[in-house]
Chain A
């Protein structure tokens, strides 16, 4: 483990020795110096795969601008977290990303760019999730190229996002909305598809969402002048599943291990790559393969944790990445996660027509289902990874968090005695970090005792 400068010190050597690909050509301090000040606060896993990971994450904006220069169609997928990018990757000339990812900008920039204030000026102020930063990023246009196409799921989504994406549309960024119905329980006698997690999805919902995807395909065909077919879609699904399998391997080996190789911070970032492959599927695959290779080669680097650490399961992504570093500072290790996109980690069915398979993936999103369905999945994974404590981190202003943390707590405490704390983590948890530390330390203490 080390800091940004430790990483920089290894960069040239690893490049000379061929341990990192030639295109991993950024030093982390270069991002720091151009404004990503939070990087200076974080503690990293000093290994070639980790450097590859950080390079990919931090250079995404450059990659998107390059894609625009090279004439590729830039697609902004919003809210569905994991399905539209798979569909888009079937097209040869598209590059897809999630503008939702702007919610990390206040963290990376340590709020210095005032994106949250700018979002307030644009009509979406405090009280709404930091995803509202997206508005400022669109309007001011210096973070990424404005997408040629924008697709957002609506229906069973959180109120914050629904309001923000509507506002985006009003500001002149035309969004194509597609329906994701609430994942209700199937009625008696209703024709259903049972997904890999045992969820009974009404078949007519699958057909409805598949129809929405067909419309998205048609819109993209017009924009790209490329005809789509089932074979291309099936290949895209297989490729996505390969990436999901690599992430599965990493999660199983790291979260279930008493002495995990990769720390919480890198694991969180790595999981995020499942959403849209960080806008480059081929590079993403290479990076994940290097992570797996490092993981299997136990002589290469020392594990980050020892067996005396408290295994903690973490629910919800954190607006401030520093929370993951803090977790380990308090004597814990990450033993499982539920970052609101389990459906992007689960394999997409390969035994269905491709658009229906993608519809199943979208309808398997736990955020569109009942809170109990999500709590049950959390409980299963807590048991699978042997976690002994749970942290539910609330996202400031997010409409779902006010309900969920309480319901998840009730559900889990009715079934186990595993301690659970819920915390609110701001985009930059400067002033609150000591409170967070105290609460995390108390949780760790109660587990280890």
Chain B
């Protein structure tokens, strides 16, 4: 039986997770949960996944303080082995960040080996996911989406924008896999995990790293490459980190920006105010109307 996991951070390398027999519980799982004031809905949602026996294990990272603290709560409720907390370096300094990250990946491998009973050979290859080297083509113009965990089913969201004659691209929300440029010539194995850790963390441009200048550079590069006409910033109500990104985007974005505070439990298409804002934004950036 594969281990049923929920992995919440892009900093947890998919290349590494793919080496283990894991079943990824996706964001499309519909489950009832209770929101709590001051706490990101993600926390309540993962807790509900545990409670209803949908997952055996959550893989989270220290990037968000709420997740770090939620780990303590989940461990107390569901056992120490129910959660793995990856210490993701916040600094961008090469040597410190790479070293810390390599140690942490070793710990993650040990954890998953123990939990799944799968022990890997040192020459096991690791494969990073390459970014497409040219822009995607579509009949409709692109609108970029960026932000925190996007729990509304991605397929429904794509359909929503497609109906309004927009394509959602690039998608840089937290649930999307991390893509890497110019790595195709490098072959990684567990034997050179520290090299993998270094290359991964150096290419990991996230708002959680400080300073997060590279996050914006990467975002705008993707926006430019994919000719996105606007950026939608999506976040949950209680997310402090993404909350302040909006101010920065507003100051430096080359394209218009809209903030979308997503209530986890509501069907956004029933929120008339939000729908009006979304429609107005799409109109502003010049969609094809039919």
- Cβ–Cβ contact B247 & A402, under 8 A: no
Q: List 28 A-B contacts (CB under 8 A).
A: A123-B244, A123-B246, A124-B243, A128-B244, A154-B210, A155-B62, A156-B68, A157-B65, A162-B65, A162-B208, A166-B210, A166-B212, A166-B244, A170-B251, A179-B100, A182-B85, A212-B91, A372-B72, A372-B76, A399-B66, A399-B240, A402-B37, A402-B238, A403-B69, A403-B72, A407-B72, A407-B73, A410-B76
- A100-136 interface code vs B (CB 8 A; 1 in, 0 out): 0000000000000000000000111001100000000
Q: A372-B72, A403-B70 are in contact. Are A179 and B91 (CB under 8 A)?
A: yes
B240 proximity list for chain A (CB < 8 A):
127-128, 159-160, 162-163, 397, 399
- Cβ–Cβ contact A208 & B73, under 8 A: no
- Cβ–Cβ contact B248 & A179, under 8 A: no
Q: Chain A residue with minimal CB distance to B107?
A: A187
B103 proximal to A (CB < 8 A): yes
B189 proximity list for chain A (CB < 8 A):
none
Q: Which 5 A-B pairs have the closest CB atoms?
A: A123-B247, A402-B38, A154-B90, A159-B240, A403-B69
CA distance A160 to B65 in the complex (A): 9
- Cβ–Cβ contact A177 & B89, under 8 A: no
Sort chain B's interface into a size bin.
Answer: 35 or more
B113 proximal to A (CB < 8 A): no
Contact of B210 among A159, A177, A187, A204 (CB under 8 A): A177
Binding site for A on B (CB under 8 A): 36-39, 62, 64-66, 68-70, 72-73, 76, 85, 87, 89-93, 95-97, 99-100, 103, 107, 110, 207-208, 210-212, 238-241, 243-244, 246-248, 251
Q: Chain B residue with minimal CB distance to A372?
A: B72
CA distance A327 to B243 in the complex (A): 35
B246 proximity list for chain A (CB < 8 A):
123
Q: Chain A residue with minimal CB distance to B111?
A: A187
- Cβ–Cβ contact B91 & A167, under 8 A: no
A128 proximity list for chain B (CB < 8 A):
240, 243-244
- Cβ–Cβ contact B241 & A181, under 8 A: no
B89 proximity list for chain A (CB < 8 A):
155, 179, 181
A163 proximity list for chain B (CB < 8 A):
240-241, 243-244
A370 proximal to B (CB < 8 A): yes
- Cβ–Cβ contact A167 & B211, under 8 A: no
Chain B: interface secondary structure?
helix
- Cβ–Cβ contact A177 & B87, under 8 A: no
- A410-430 interface code vs B (CB 8 A; 1 in, 0 out): 100000000000000000000
CA distance A179 to B37 in the complex (A): 30
Binding site for B on A (CB under 8 A): 122-124, 127-128, 152, 154-160, 162-167, 169-170, 175, 177-179, 181-182, 184, 187, 204, 208, 211-212, 215, 370-372, 397, 399-404, 407, 410
Q: A159-B64, A372-B72 are in contact. Are A178 and B244 (CB under 8 A)?
A: no
Q: A175-B211, A403-B39 are in contact. Are A181 and B100 (CB under 8 A)?
A: yes
CA distance A404 to B243 in the complex (A): 22
A167 proximity list for chain B (CB < 8 A):
244, 247-248
A169 proximity list for chain B (CB < 8 A):
210-211
Contact of A402 among B39, B90, B241, B244 (CB under 8 A): B39
A157 proximity list for chain B (CB < 8 A):
65
Q: Which of B38, B110, B251 has the most CB of A within 10 A?
A: B38
B95 proximity list for chain A (CB < 8 A):
211
Q: Chain B residue with minimal CB distance to A187?
A: B107
Distance between B112 CB and nearest chain A CB, rounded to angstroms: 14
Distance between B117 CB and nearest chain A CB, rounded to angstroms: 18
B211 proximity list for chain A (CB < 8 A):
166, 169-170, 175, 177
A164 proximity list for chain B (CB < 8 A):
244
A215 proximity list for chain B (CB < 8 A):
93
Contact of B99 among A159, A182, A208, A370 (CB under 8 A): A208
Q: A170-B248, A371-B72 are in contact. Are A401 and B90 (CB under 8 A)?
A: no
B69 proximity list for chain A (CB < 8 A):
371, 399-400, 403-404, 407
CA distance A179 to B76 in the complex (A): 27
Distance between A202 CB and nearest chain B CB, rounded to angstroms: 9
A179 proximity list for chain B (CB < 8 A):
89-91, 93, 96-97, 100
Distance between B244 CB and nearest chain A CB, rounded to angstroms: 4
Q: A128-B240, A371-B69 are in contact. Are A212 and B96 (CB under 8 A)?
A: yes
Q: Chain A residue with minimal CB distance to B106?
A: A187
Distance between A343 CB and nearest chain B CB, rounded to angstroms: 18
Give 15 new A-B contacts, CB below 8 A, not counting A166-B211, A177-B211, A179-B91: A123-B244, A154-B91, A160-B240, A162-B210, A163-B243, A164-B244, A166-B244, A181-B87, A182-B62, A187-B107, A215-B93, A402-B238, A403-B69, A403-B72, A407-B69
CA distance A297 to B51 in the complex (A): 59
CA distance A178 to B239 in the complex (A): 23
- Cβ–Cβ contact A400 & B210, under 8 A: no
Q: A182-B85, A372-B72, A403-B70 are in contact. Are A165 and B210 (CB under 8 A)?
A: yes
CA distance A430 to B91 in the complex (A): 40
Q: Chain A residue with minimal CB distance to B208?
A: A162
CA distance A128 to B240 in the complex (A): 7
Distance between B60 CB and nearest chain A CB, rounded to angstroms: 11
- Cβ–Cβ contact B65 & A208, under 8 A: no
- Cβ–Cβ contact A124 & B244, under 8 A: yes
B212 proximity list for chain A (CB < 8 A):
166
CA distance A82 to B55 in the complex (A): 41
CA distance A234 to B89 in the complex (A): 29
A166 proximity list for chain B (CB < 8 A):
207, 210-212, 244
Contact of A184 among B76, B87, B110, B207 (CB under 8 A): B87
